[in-house]
Structure 1
Amino acid sequence: HHGIRPCVSSRQLRVSHGCVSKILCRYQETGSIRPGAIGGSKPRQVATPDVEKRIEEYKRENPGMFSWEIRDKLLKDGVCDRGTVPSGEASSVSSISRVLRARFGKKDDDDDCDKKEEDGEKKSKHSIDGILGDKGNRTDE
Structure 2
Amino acid sequence: MRTRRFKNYELETGCGVEACLEVIGGKWKGLILHHLMEHGTLRFSQIQKLKPALSPRILTSQLRELENDGVILRKVYPVVPPKVEYSLSSAGESLRGVVQAMQTWGDRFIIGANTPVKPNERSQEITK
TM over 0.5: no
Greater relative contact order (Cα < 8 A, sep 6+): 1
Higher strand share: 2
